[in-house]
Amino acid sequence: MKNPTTKRSSRKSALAKALIPGALLAVAVPQLAYADTASVTVTTSGPTMGPATPFTGVSSRADCGGGLVSGGGIDQATGSDRAGNGNHVMGIAPSPDGVTEYTGSTGVVGTDVKHWLAFGGSGSNSSPEFSTTPYAVCLSSNRIRHTQVVMNKIAGPSVGQTAKTVVATCPTGTVLLGGGARTTPASVGSLKPIAGFPTFDDAAHDFGQKAAADGETNPDSWTAVGGIGGGRDSDNTTYAYAICSGDGVNVRGITTTVHFRELSGPTTAGTSRTATVGCDDQTGERDHGRENHVLVSGGAAASGGNVTTTDFTKAGSGGTHLIGSFPSDSDGGPVSDGTGTAAYWTADIHVGGSPSPDTYSDVWALCLNLDHGHEE
């Protein structure tokens, strides 16, 4: 007769063997890799007409019905008069509700923003045919589910023919996704943002005074430059906005790559020039052959050149201004259907009414790449 204790021991041993695979599976499940996804949709509400009177401004908005704003743009028209010198960009910026601006205390000012504002202003020349079109770049990702907005500001410029630079930097452990630039008030007709671009808060970039160069990865800051022509005012302000991944987002394996292009000109009064760069390389293949490499934002500048190797300098004339910074196709055409995608960014620079020697057109595309999977 077999010992009952031996039977019980055998049953316990068999049960333990049966349970071991399940126990191992329970440990392994949290380490399973999940595919990362990211997609971008560009939305626009179409043109807002004006300003029709000198020294005033108009505002327009684009909204993200799905996803969160990672960046945004603006495109302006002067109607039948392409040489129209009065229409200029007054700002592009995220908004919590499509109306309110972040202009108060600096630092982190908002989270999970879905609205984008675009501002147009007029100088001494204006026309009812002037218009401003906003573009919101809306990011949907199972990895970057939350975003935050950092704002910084500086007084000025208030002295004619000068510029002021201000830098907004993302919190440590987050990723820069895009940014914006804004100047106020619109009543100073020659005041406008003349640059907005990705950069780094480090000595190599003079803490945001030098722009990120082509091929650099993971910039952490956004620089805005306010410029002024002959006007003066004691209450002028320049704002910079950085759109960053939210607190708690796992940024391991996330890379943003900067693509940059600089062209000489325009220099002749009443003329303009566009510059376009994208997330596709010169062969038309996706950068590095990676998946999920998508355009999340872009920047533009009217500058004195060499913006990635020297501190930013303004264009040769105080009247030179931006009339466009927007997501586009490879030919520089804005994404126009309102629910499209884009792989390129275009800057449109206008000289104004006076010649502008030593002027350059600069454009940046910021491209997001997620690794093929992450562990949870």
DSSP labels, 35-58:
---EEEEEE----EE---STT-EE
Average pLDDT for 156-171: 96
> Are 260 and 179 spatial neighbours (Cβ–Cβ below 8 Å)?
no
Task: Report the amino acid identity of residue 199.
Answer: T
User: Residues 16, 117: one domain?
Assistant: no
The H-or-E segment that residue 5 falls in is helix 4-28
User: Residues 224, 368: one domain?
Assistant: yes
Residue 81's pLDDT is 63
Higher pLDDT, 89 or 280: 89
Residue 25's pLDDT is 32
198 phi, psi to nearest 5 deg:
-75, 150
Does residue 110 carry a pLDDT above 70? yes
- Return the residue matching tokens 């800057």: 347
User: Residues 24, 97: one domain?
Assistant: no
> Kind of pairing, strands 107-111 and 147-155?
antiparallel
User: Residues 188, 216: one domain?
Assistant: yes
Confidence of residue 82 (pLDDT cuts 50, 70, 90): low
Number of domains in the chain: 2
The residue ranges of DSSP E strands in 170-211, in sequence order, are: 176-184, 192-199
Average pLDDT for 168-177: 98
pLDDT in tens, 283-315: 344 444 444 589 999 999 999 999 999 999 999
Residue 27's pLDDT is 38
Average pLDDT for 181-186: 96
- Return the residue matching tokens 């960014």: 345
Range of the domain at 9: 1-31
Q: Across all residues in the chain, what is the average pLDDT?
A: 87
Average pLDDT for 71-97: 87
pLDDT in tens, 310-323: 999 999 999 999 99
CATH assignment at residue 219: 2.60.120.690
> Are 195 and 223 spatial neighbours (Cβ–Cβ below 8 Å)?
yes
Average pLDDT for 73-84: 79
Average pLDDT for 254-261: 97
User: Residues 62, 175: one domain?
Assistant: yes
Confidence of residue 105 (pLDDT cuts 50, 70, 90): very high
Average pLDDT for 14-32: 39
> Are 334 and 118 spatial neighbours (Cβ–Cβ below 8 Å)?
no
For residue 200, give the 3-state DSSP assignment: coil
- Return the residue matching tokens 């043109």: 47
Residue 373's pLDDT is 53
Exposed/middle/buried for 141, CB within 10 Å: 0-12, 13-18, 19+?
buried
User: Residues 369, 304: one domain?
Assistant: yes
User: Residues 2, 58: one domain?
Assistant: no
Average pLDDT for 197-224: 98
Residue 84's pLDDT is 63
Higher pLDDT, 129 or 112: 112
C-alpha–C-alpha distance, residues 40 and 56, integer Å:
33
User: Residues 81, 25: one domain?
Assistant: no
User: Residues 25, 142: one domain?
Assistant: no
Share of the chain above pLDDT 70, in %: 84
Residue 283's pLDDT is 34
Measure CA 164 to chain center.
Answer: 20
Angle at CA 310, nearest 5°, toward 191 and 278?
Answer: 80
Of 28-42, 62-76, 342-356, the range with the lowest mean pLDDT is: 28-42
User: Residues 27, 131: one domain?
Assistant: no
Residue 338's pLDDT is 63
User: Residues 15, 43: one domain?
Assistant: no
C-alpha–C-alpha distance, residues 30 and 355, integer Å:
63
Residue 86's pLDDT is 82
Task: Please give the radius of gyration of the chain, using alpha carbons only, rounded to the nearest integer.
Answer: 25
Confidence of residue 80 (pLDDT cuts 50, 70, 90): confident
User: Residues 6, 80: one domain?
Assistant: no
- Count H helices, E strands: the chain? 1, 22
- The count of C-alpha atoms lying within 13 angstroms of the C-alpha of 155, restricted to the half-sphere facing its C-beta, is 6
